[in-house]
Chains A and B, each alone.
Chain A
Amino acid sequence: MKAAPFDYLEAGSADEAVCLLGEAGSDAAVLAGGQTLMPLLALRMTSPTVLIDINPADDMAGITHTGHGLRIGARTRQADALHDPFVARHLPILGEALGHVGHYQTRARGTVGGSIALGEPAAEQPAVAVALGASIELRSTRGTRQVPAREFYLAPYATARAEDEVVIAIHFPAWPAASRAVFQEVARRRGDFALVGLVMLLDVQDTRVERAGIAWFGMGPTPVAATTAEQALTGATIADIDPRELAQLALAQVEPPEDLHASAHYRRTVAARIFERRFRTLTEKVAA
């Protein structure tokens, strides 16, 4: 388990990372926290010719409040985001999700951008980005663009990032402080990728749902937005919604995978149960 030979380049800033990646071409990989990349290199499941290490790029780390929401630099360590007061105040659901990412030790190294960029379908942070309607800031020597998270994930480990683009930051839009949030993950062990994962945000004014953001993870080739259920909820009165029917609606767009750890049937069954129960809990709160 030794990596195949590669050239190693350090990027001291975001701009340098962008330049180096632009020069390196298609066979380059960006190294951030390395929590996935290093094992893949060791297993020779990936063998880039150039590795661009953005760990020295301190300008890629940090969380800022933009007025529209939070901008999280891609190289921000998961542990730092987890303990960030802005995240705690404005994006508590991201904080909750980060608590499920890997382990205490791995979060000290793993980055928010690394997880967002990888596109592991059972990972927590991409699903939060999809549910909340975040966008991904990408930069290349050609320029900067923002891609909505809902358009970013194409297939397992395949994203809309072009091969010369560096993930610079993730923009999470603000949701009203009173939004109701659900984060639930079923995993074999604490710290494992999800067998079934659900992120749900509801902006409820009085008893009317103004806006809903729902995403599944571990339930398909990418994090999956439950858009049909979101549409059904938007503008609806909580009391009029049948949680069981809504759960089926939320699962209508999902084709769960079958793997070593769980069958598709398990994923669908447990997802429906979780959705229904957690939605009911939210409803009861609203009613109360």
Chain B
Amino acid sequence: MSEHPIATGARFVGKRIQRKEDRRLLTGRGTYIDDVVVAGMLHAAFVRSNVARGQILRLDIAQARALPGVFAVYIAADLDQLGCQPGNPVFDMPGCPSPDNGLLARTDVRFVGDPVAIVLATTRAIAEDAVALVEVDYRAEAPVIGIAAAQTMPPVHPHLPDNLVNAMDSGRDDEIDAIFASAAHVVEDTIRNCRQAHMPMETRGLVAAPDGTGELTVHAACQSPHLSALHIATAFNMNQHQVRVIGKDVGGGFGLKMSPQRDDMAVIAAAILAGRPVKWIEDRLENLIAGGQSREDQMSVRLAFDADHRLLAADVEYDCDFGAYPYATQSSASLVTPMFPGPYRLPRYRWKAKGWYTNTSGLVPYRGPWMLEMFAREAMFDVAAREMGADSIELRRKNIIGKPDQPFQTAAGFVLADISPRETMELAVSAIDVPAFRRDQAHAREQGRYLGLGLANGIEPTTVSFGYFASDMAHVRIEANGRVTAMTTTFSQGHGTVTSLAQVIAERLGVPFEDVTVVEGDSSQIGFGSGAGGSRQAVAGGGAAIKASDLLREKIQRIAAHAYNASPEAVRIENGVITIEGAPEVRSSVAEIAQIAYVAPDRLPHDMEMGLESQYRYRPPPMVLANATHACICEVDVETGKVSILRWVAGSDCGELINPAIVEGQIAGGVVQGIGGVLFEHLRYDEDGQPLAVTLKDYLLPTGLDVPRIEYQHMCTPSSTPGGFKGVGEGGAMISPPTLVNAIADALAPFGKRWLNMPLSPDRIVCALEQ
């Protein structure tokens, strides 16, 4: 709840306000990376490996270099001259550094798409012509494809002993074996996710522009200009002020743009070597084979229940395919097992987690990277309910945590507070009308139609704040004309942060919403901060905005009080107009106070600094929890194996909502991506390590025709942060897969199968039903 009483009238927080950026974006006036044009700019294209693993025997760039319009063709030895430091200063875990094979492959390639040369030319088309002229011979070697192969085959990275990236566990626990041995019910299975792409509408890309003074400006499709600038300065051993990263509009990140990758760095290195600005726009083929991937993981789960269906213990083993050049692996590997207990009373818990290198595109955190904890748990709860002859909702009711149970420490050591899992579940259950559905389901089955109801509960850890993500900053100033400019370390990937933060600031200051402009996306103009990632911007950015606005409002009140001989507490600011309680004749404005602050220092209190601006670096709690229950009804056509989603209820508690429309947009986007992961999206590789889905004809995204209208149900348990906000960015993507899979499994319950291998394509459903 608010720490400060709001001395302003108009409420903007909680309103569905039209986004400030929509008119510009919807009328084609956005500035995405490909819209950036710099004088003298060259265009880059990569020569990429077409084998998954092999030695480079011959690399001949002579013909490509000779093509008119080609400025340079660089190979590893060229870029290596710059001495670019390997590793990721933001995301590398101690003892688990990024593997180094140069920005371009030096002597061997390690996945299909591994960059081996970069061409700079006057147009992208000529650069692609030149790419076709580069001759590379490889001696192909048997690649490591899949987790099982990673466990036995020679290392992907020759300097490492094996393919195991990291291994963690909860330690020895002999008693848990005894619990399983004596439990009334034990349910066990493995759930297998399938590899997915982040698929932002705007692919990766940058324009790197070095200048004569040794400074470097990088226009980047990134999630955090500051973290990118930090990474670039570290890699090229530059002072921080020499690197400026600018972002304007970004067409989606989803984790893909949290960090520059090798090919981004290769473009920067090429620009520095060439002494020319260079643009690289990743094309969709590159994006699909080399941009990064996620969700190629699996979890073996054992659950023990007592005779009354109360959960006794869980034993979990998690494995994740990291590909060849992953980053931020901790976002999946380190959170998936600790989050597994979810919102349930789980007395005893044992886990293991491992990550593996393979000769495939690298793991990059994707919206809810640890989603398998929710997916596996909720899917296995339904399997357990069916095995035990229990109702799956009743099973959850017996084990779930509600508001009165908190604070509650989970079996993994997390303290649950300010969340409402039982309450959102009841909200979703009542929205669905379960008894009515069961009647419909029985009636449909008599006609040979298979309807199913699925439900899932989940806790979303948001605003995970440590390392470089420990703080966010807002600088708010009232200009001399009374308008408000705020510079924040948030960075919209389409999130609408310039709208939601303007709502927060306008409300806290008491000025019109239209008067507030939020500026973000420039590492040299705005103080350090972490941008978009980890569902943090409402809490961290909103918290900073509240704190900075409150400081500024207090200053306005003090100036007005001094000018009109009143006490600061009596000063009211509403819609930019200032009144004094008890002095109805006074009517001033924020603009007038700004005039005093900037040009009439004699009217200020004598000890007060001139100007009307404030800055606050806000440190959120280490984690702010949100929770949700989703439920869906689907129909499975057993003739063709096709799944139709008939209803979708999203019951959420993300605390105080700044702009419900933006919140619902976040939920919808996540749900759609989750549906894609269950029904359509699969970045499959063949046994030779060749990616099979290399266009959007084969990598199927759900379209508007494939997704349901979502019925939103909001519940509000404020967080203990300044605005009571919680994050909401990732939960939808994590909770929708188990919701849908449970619905499909319920629909097909008469066939007695389990549905734990993704994707649940028509082929998989038809073939499994036949067996």
A residues within 8 Å of B by Cβ?
Answer: 1-5, 39, 43-44, 186, 188-193, 195-196, 260-263, 265-266, 269-270, 273-274, 277
Contact = CB atoms under 8 A, between A and B. Distances in A.
A273 B698 CA distance: 25
A221 to B, nearest CB: 18
Interface of B: 123-125, 128-129, 132, 283-285, 639-642, 680, 682, 684, 692-693, 695, 697-698, 700, 702-703, 705-706, 761-763, 766-767, 770
A61 B652 CA distance: 54
A273 B770 CA distance: 13
Contacts of B124: 2
B703 A190 contact: yes
B128 A2 contact: yes
A102 to B, nearest CB: 11
Contacts of B692: 260
A41 to B, nearest CB: 11
B640 A186 contact: yes
B705 A274 contact: no
In order of increasing CB-CB distance, the 3 nearest A-B pairs are A2-B125, A1-B283, A266-B763
Contacts of B639: 270, 273-274, 277
B132 A44 contact: yes
Contact of B762 (A5, A39, A188, A265): A188
A4 B130 CA distance: 10
A262 B706 contact: no
B695 A192 contact: no
Contacts, number: 74
A191 B766 contact: no
B524 to A, nearest CB: 33
Q: B123, B639, B684, B698: which has the most chain A beta carbons within 10 Å? A: B639
Interface secondary structure of B, over-half rule? loop
Contacts of B283: 1
Contacts of B697: 193
Nearest to A273: B639
A35 to B, nearest CB: 11
A192 B284 contact: no
Given A39-B695, A261-B761, A269 B705 contact: no
B762 A195 contact: yes
Contacts of A262: 761-763
Interface secondary structure of A, over-half rule? loop
A265 to B, nearest CB: 7
A196 B342 CA distance: 42
16 contacts: A1-B128, A4-B129, A5-B129, A43-B695, A188-B761, A188-B762, A189-B680, A190-B705, A191-B703, A195-B762, A196-B640, A260-B692, A261-B761, A261-B763, A262-B762, A263-B763
Nearest to B698: A260
B766 A270 contact: yes
Contacts of A274: 639-640
B771 to A, nearest CB: 11
A101 to B, nearest CB: 14
A261 B684 CA distance: 11
Contacts of B641: 266, 270
A182 to B, nearest CB: 15
B585 to A, nearest CB: 63
A57 B706 CA distance: 37
A155 B762 CA distance: 26
Contacts of B766: 266, 269-270
Contacts of A266: 641, 762-763, 766-767
Contacts of A270: 639-641, 762, 766
Given A189-B680, A261-B763, A274-B639, 20 more contacts: A1-B283, A4-B128, A4-B132, A44-B128, A44-B132, A188-B680, A188-B761, A189-B702, A190-B706, A191-B705, A193-B697, A195-B762, A260-B682, A262-B762, A266-B762, A269-B770, A270-B641, A270-B762, A273-B639, A277-B639
Contacts of B640: 186, 196, 270, 273-274
Contact of A263 (B123, B693, B695, B767): B767
A189 B706 contact: yes
A39 B284 CA distance: 11
Contact of A189 (B684, B700, B763, B767): B700
